[in-house]
């Protein structure tokens, strides 16, 4: 079973990102679940959400404690002591940042970055990076087909907004390093 933790701030779409990844995985023939982990949060407060993906039905329904992958929608969260808690040492971390990897001071063997904020503003007109980061995540992991993610976007958003989000996904997919 593959487990993914998304870190973001309230309003950035971390919960929606996990849901879209689960839908895309399902479209690709996998079993998946997505769920948030937060209390009475407000816009801007740290938020976590989770996604599990497997080839067989998923029976566990609890928080992810040992993620294979961590997606960080807001680099200002990197200083949190729990940001990589339980993270598997051969896993992958994908961070939304314009900074060089060495400046991030993350102890991750497999680290990928992309400036999803700039890409989201350019394509969507707002700094909501959830869908853009999924493009980078798919590039880094090959966990689900890019076309399945695009179909999940088309299901979730109206045609005009879906088109903008798909462009942001494609730009982050090609810009992820």
Predicted confidence (pLDDT) at residue 40 exceeds the cutoff of 80: no
Please say whether the beta carbons of 91 and 155 come within 8 A: no
The DSSP code for 77 is G
User: What values do phi and psi take at 88, rounded to 5?
Assistant: -70, 130
Predicted pLDDT at 7: 96
How do residues 136-177 score in pLDDT, each as one tens digit? 999 999 999 999 999 999 999 999 999 999 999 999 998 887
Instruction: Name the helix (H) or strand (E) containing 34.
Output: strand 31-37
Which tokens sit at 50? Answer: 């989770």
Predicted pLDDT at 107: 85
Predicted pLDDT at 161: 96
Please say whether the beta carbons of 25 and 142 come within 8 A: no
Predicted pLDDT at 41: 59
Rounded CA-CA distance 106/93 in Å is 9
Confidence of residue 68 (pLDDT cuts 50, 70, 90): very high
Q: Is 86 left (phi over 0), alpha (psi -120 to 50) or beta?
A: left
CA torsion sign, 73 to 97 to 25 to 5? negative
For residues 69 and 105, which has the higher predicted lDDT (pLDDT)? 69
How do residues 89-104 score in pLDDT, each as one tens digit? 899 999 999 999 989 9
DSSP annotation string for 98-147? SS-GGGG----SEEEEE-HHHHHHHHHSS---HHHHHHHHHHHH--S-HH
Q: Which domains does the chain have, with CATH numbers?
A: 2-175 (3.40.920.10)
How do residues 104-143 score in pLDDT, each as one tens digit? 989 888 999 999 999 999 999 999 999 999 999 999 999 9
């Amino acid at each position: 079973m593959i487990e993914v933790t998304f870190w973001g701030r309230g309003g950035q779409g971390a919960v929606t990102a996990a849901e879209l990844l689960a839908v895309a995985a399902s479209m690709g023939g996998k079993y998946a679940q997505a769920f948030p982990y937060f209390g009475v949060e407000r816009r801007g407060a740290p938020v976590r959400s989770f996604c599990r993906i497997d080839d067989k039905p998923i029976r566990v329904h609890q928080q992810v404690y040992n993620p294979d992958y961590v997606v960080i929608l807001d680099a200002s969260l990197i200083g949190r002591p729990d940001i990589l808690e339980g993270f598997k040492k051969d896993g992958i971390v994908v961070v939304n940042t314009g900074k060089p990897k060495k400046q991030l001071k993350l102890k991750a063997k497999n680290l990928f970055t992309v400036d999803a904020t700039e890409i989201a503003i350019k394509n969507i007109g707002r700094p909501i990076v959830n869908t853009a980061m999924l493009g980078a995540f798919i590039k880094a992991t090959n966990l689900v087909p890019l076309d399945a993610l695009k179909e999940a976007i088309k299901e979730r958003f109206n045609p005009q907004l879906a088109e903008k989000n798909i462009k942001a996904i494609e730009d982050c997919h090609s810009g992820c390093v």
